[in-house]
Chains A and B, each alone.
Chain A
């Protein structure tokens, strides 16, 4: 530890900390633009220059390491003059017309820095050279007139996401932010993760759907968990007037460290489905509005009349553990229904639970993927699902990561090669996904885990989406669409209708669908119960590496929608039942392949 004197105040920081780190600890606010806590220090904007006693000239605090007994002055006239110079230069470079920018009055770090220096106008006249706007991308717009060339977007795209789409062409004052070899962003290798937009300090990168809908201070921020895969990335939900505005990654979240993928960031805002607004019962060929009591009575009557072996019950993996818990208790424990199915084909979660019975803990945290020198990705397409895990690997490629990829699990020779070469590497990892981790592949899997035990490989299994893992621990396996029964009760929630779940529902005579959105599923149902979506229903989720996360409620639900827990509980009262099952202890009942952090 070293002691640093910031404006007369002594703070203790770790050896290797920068002057900026020390200043932050001392509460001294040094402005910066190109700096970002999640990116490697860059030292380009020069706004963070400070005076250091004994130094030849002003020192960039974001990159310079602090030393023991260093004396730093952050607000001298010389420092303020340099800051004004940097800001004046920036305003004179491009066309910074604040009045009609969506980031104005609070969300623009350039503007905020200028106001902090008591600047109210441009000291140098700009050239007024117009720069092209690239509006070719469906999710965001690149406005070069507002760009301050801080390169945060380029650095996120490269250093953190590992995609390297954004870059710069030309040099000096002709430098320009471009995609790939200077082609429209919409035609480039961009994977639409939107992290560049989130990291941009000015209004240069415009989020199409949320622009002008409110400054950060106008919006309500709620932390929640992304349900599109099982990584458990923490999303910040930004809402206004009970409406979803935008999603951002939480900077300090352990798994995603501020990043989101295109699915997690944009699928909810792109969702055009219509809500189910009222309970409905089929009369003849029509679905007719009814009230909850009526509907639940119909359902209860059907459930009581039909034998439990003629009933199938399904639940979406996107449902919370509390919802899953109520579902399991009511349908399996009380009604003795045996045909219970998860609306997901991915067997990874259930197979991992099965293997845990034999092997105990054999998996590692997902974060091991951020620091490895060789990786085999087997049976998982990280460009589709679990993309953030893909980012962790891709960004290590320039550093020499040896990456082997077999997403469809069709190349056994690749696995053999990896196993044979494993001693070449210090920190090898294996990522296994749904195309490899299947019940039909158990023998190979057993062999692999046996071998991993002796080798120094860390294993990561990607278990489907959202709560597939919690469902598997509770014994709910992927549904079999060939099962045909007299009654199906499907807790769809906000899950998308697809050919599999439609097929499952069609196999039953009487169909009860609990859903948030209208779809082919509600179209063919006999009873429709309005459900909440993930923004409205609070609950817990278990990530693929066993971390328990709480998805906070971000929106007030629509009037008649009920949470799954409430609707199942009310249904249970029709049977004289009170639901008491403890979901926490149910999770610890089974051996798991990774130690759960509950």
Chain B
């Protein structure tokens, strides 16, 4: 740009851990140490990598900078909301017609993102929830669809911007399973330095796994609430502070699903393997034997042109029969 300022750019590969997204853990990783967050203060701006003042930002943040220099602040501020200027990238995933990476100005509504850009829910299913921010974000439901997306509004609605993830979920999603899924991830990625995250997330995951297996007990709800609240409050870094968000959020919006799992041993969305059964619908079954021939464990019996039968004791709930049946004769109950 006409000055004689120049610099060397060095690219360092980390060993690959989610927790190294935390800025002080990132510093540790670059320095060749275990990726664990450090005490702050001192903040990286004062004492960062190798003790030197450091500026740490995500690639997306840095990528915005050249545009601002080249096109000017006014241009940049002309997009977005009052508090969040410019654009944001999102990774739109899940049960929408068009998944992929998108870039929209702040203030775009969730409805626009899910239904216009995303093309709406696949296969004509109903919208259930959209989980934003990655593994530490909360769920937004139908009542939030007209939310103008920016940092503040997402926070107020009980979620976070986080990594820009947007996972759209339809009616066939079990929200308890979602909570378990995200907790499995964060628990595995916990660095292990602090007690609340290392052990708290483990205890939370164990309870969620039990509930999904149909072994939930009434005390689990209270325990989950306590564990989540304390893990969020007492953890050292953002991972622990956010790990319980999916659990808190799903318990807030979908408590009925938790209760069904615990009290009725039933998974309303028919996802949790231990709580579902595959049955042949006698009204639709033509006896074509396709399901029996595809069953990996030989759980389906039946003569040609006769109504088939699934042996529940052998069935492993893999779902293959349901996929291959052309007559909608396999029902999940």
State the A residues within 8 Å of B (CB): 41-47, 49, 57-58, 60, 63, 65, 81-82, 85-86, 89-90, 92-93, 124, 148-149, 151, 168, 170-175
Give the one of A43, A85, A151, A174 with max B CB within 10 A.
A85
Is there contact, CB below 8 Å, between A172 and B194?
no
Is there contact, CB below 8 Å, between B195 and A172?
no
User: B192: which of A47, A57, A82, A175 is its contact (CB, 8 Å)?
Assistant: A175
Q: A49-B234, A168-B34, A172-B188 are in contact. Are A44 and B193 (CB under 8 A)?
A: yes
Q: Please name the residue on chain A nearest to B227 by beta carbon.
A: A85
Q: Please name the residue on chain A nearest to B197 by beta carbon.
A: A172
List residues of B (170-225) whose CB comes within 8 Å of A's CBs: 187-196, 198-203
Pick 24 A–B contacts, CB within 8 A, sort by A.
Answer: A41-B39, A43-B194, A43-B236, A44-B194, A44-B195, A58-B233, A58-B234, A60-B236, A65-B41, A82-B230, A86-B196, A92-B199, A92-B203, A93-B199, A124-B203, A148-B195, A149-B198, A171-B17, A171-B35, A171-B189, A173-B187, A173-B199, A173-B202, A175-B198
Write out the residue numbers on chain A whose beta carbons fall within 8 Å of the beta carbon of B235: 46
With the chains together, A151 CA to B236 CA distance in Å? 15
Q: Please name the residue on chain B nearest to A148 by beta carbon.
A: B195
With the chains together, A46 CA to B231 CA distance in Å? 11
Write out the residue numbers on chain A whose beta carbons fall within 8 Å of the beta carbon of B19: 171
Write out the residue numbers on chain B whose beta carbons fall within 8 Å of the beta carbon of A46: 194-196, 234-236
Is there contact, CB below 8 Å, between A171 and B195?
no
Write out the residue numbers on chain B whose beta carbons fall within 8 Å of the beta carbon of A44: 193-195, 236
How many residues of B are in contact with the other chain, CB < 8 A? 28
- Sample of 5 more A-B contacts, CB < 8 Å, known A44-B193, A86-B195: A46-B234, A89-B199, A172-B202, A173-B192, A174-B192
- Chain A nearest CB from B224 CB (Å) reads 13
- Chain B nearest CB from A164 CB (Å) reads 11
The A-B contact count (CB < 8 A) is 84
Write out the residue numbers on chain A whose beta carbons fall within 8 Å of the beta carbon of B39: 41-43, 63
Write out the residue numbers on chain B whose beta carbons fall within 8 Å of the beta carbon of A175: 192, 198
Is there contact, CB below 8 Å, between A85 and B203?
no
Is there contact, CB below 8 Å, between A172 and B198?
yes
Write out the residue numbers on chain B whose beta carbons fall within 8 Å of the beta carbon of A90: 195, 199
Write out the residue numbers on chain A whose beta carbons fall within 8 Å of the beta carbon of B17: 171
Write out the residue numbers on chain B whose beta carbons fall within 8 Å of the beta carbon of A65: 41
List residues of B (281-327) whose CB comes within 8 Å of A's CBs: none
Give the one of A90, A148, A172, A175 with max B CB within 10 A.
A172
- Chain A nearest CB from B40 CB (Å) reads 8
Q: A46-B194, A63-B39, A124-B203 are in contact. Are A172 and B230 (CB under 8 A)?
A: no
Write out the residue numbers on chain B whose beta carbons fall within 8 Å of the beta carbon of A173: 187, 190, 192, 198-199, 201-202
Q: A82-B233, A175-B198 are in contact. Are A149 and B203 (CB under 8 A)?
A: no
Q: Please name the residue on chain B nearest to A154 by beta carbon.
A: B34
Write out the residue numbers on chain B whose beta carbons fall within 8 Å of the beta carbon of A43: 39, 194, 236
- Chain B nearest CB from A150 CB (Å) reads 9
With the chains together, A168 CA to B196 CA distance in Å? 18
- Chain B nearest CB from A539 CB (Å) reads 45
Q: Please name the residue on chain A nearest to B192 by beta carbon.
A: A175
Write out the residue numbers on chain A whose beta carbons fall within 8 Å of the beta carbon of B35: 171
User: B203: which of A41, A47, A89, A171 is its contact (CB, 8 Å)?
Assistant: A89
With the chains together, A393 CA to B135 CA distance in Å? 44
Is there contact, CB below 8 Å, between B234 and A85?
yes
Bitwise interface map of B from 5 to 44 toward A, beta carbon under 8 Å scored 1, else 0 = 0000000000001010000000000000011000101000
- Chain B nearest CB from A73 CB (Å) reads 15
Is there contact, CB below 8 Å, between A85 and B230?
yes
Write out the residue numbers on chain B whose beta carbons fall within 8 Å of the beta carbon of A63: 39
With the chains together, A45 CA to B235 CA distance in Å? 9
Write out the residue numbers on chain B whose beta carbons fall within 8 Å of the beta carbon of A42: 39
Write out the residue numbers on chain A whose beta carbons fall within 8 Å of the beta carbon of B34: 168, 171
Is there contact, CB below 8 Å, between A81 and B203?
no
- Chain B nearest CB from A245 CB (Å) reads 32
With the chains together, A57 CA to B226 CA distance in Å? 16
- Chain A nearest CB from B43 CB (Å) reads 12
Q: Please name the residue on chain B nearest to A175 by beta carbon.
A: B192
- Chain A nearest CB from B172 CB (Å) reads 31
- Chain A nearest CB from B330 CB (Å) reads 38
With the chains together, A49 CA to B233 CA distance in Å? 10
With the chains together, A46 CA to B235 CA distance in Å? 7
With the chains together, A168 CA to B28 CA distance in Å? 15
Write out the residue numbers on chain B whose beta carbons fall within 8 Å of the beta carbon of A49: 234
Give the one of B39, B188, B198, B199 with max A CB within 10 A.
B199
Write out the residue numbers on chain B whose beta carbons fall within 8 Å of the beta carbon of A168: 34, 192
User: B190: which of A81, A89, A148, A172 is its contact (CB, 8 Å)?
Assistant: A172
Bitwise interface map of B from 114 to 139 toward A, beta carbon under 8 Å scored 1, else 0 = 00000000000000000000000000
With the chains together, A45 CA to B200 CA distance in Å? 12
With the chains together, A42 CA to B37 CA distance in Å? 10
Is there contact, CB below 8 Å, between A171 and B192?
yes
Is there contact, CB below 8 Å, between B233 and A171?
no
Write out the residue numbers on chain A whose beta carbons fall within 8 Å of the beta carbon of B41: 65
Write out the residue numbers on chain A whose beta carbons fall within 8 Å of the beta carbon of B189: 171-172
With the chains together, A42 CA to B24 CA distance in Å? 13
With the chains together, A529 CA to B95 CA distance in Å? 93
With the chains together, A491 CA to B190 CA distance in Å? 62
Q: Please name the residue on chain B nearest to A33 by beta carbon.
A: B195
With the chains together, A92 CA to B234 CA distance in Å? 17
- Chain B nearest CB from A131 CB (Å) reads 14
User: B195: which of A41, A45, A124 is its contact (CB, 8 Å)?
Assistant: A45
With the chains together, A168 CA to B235 CA distance in Å? 20
Q: A44-B193, A44-B194, A44-B236 are in contact. Are A89 and B200 (CB under 8 A)?
A: yes
Write out the residue numbers on chain B whose beta carbons fall within 8 Å of the beta carbon of A45: 194-195
- Chain B nearest CB from A25 CB (Å) reads 21
Q: Please name the residue on chain B nearest to A91 by beta carbon.
A: B199
Is there contact, CB below 8 Å, between B203 and A172?
no
Q: Please name the residue on chain A nearest to B199 by beta carbon.
A: A89
User: A149: which of B188, B192, B196 is its contact (CB, 8 Å)?
Assistant: B192
Q: Please name the residue on chain B nearest to A46 by beta carbon.
A: B234
- Chain B nearest CB from A17 CB (Å) reads 13
- Chain A nearest CB from B294 CB (Å) reads 38
Q: Please name the residue on chain B nearest to A47 by beta carbon.
A: B195
Give the one of B187, B189, B190, B234 with max A CB within 10 A.
B234
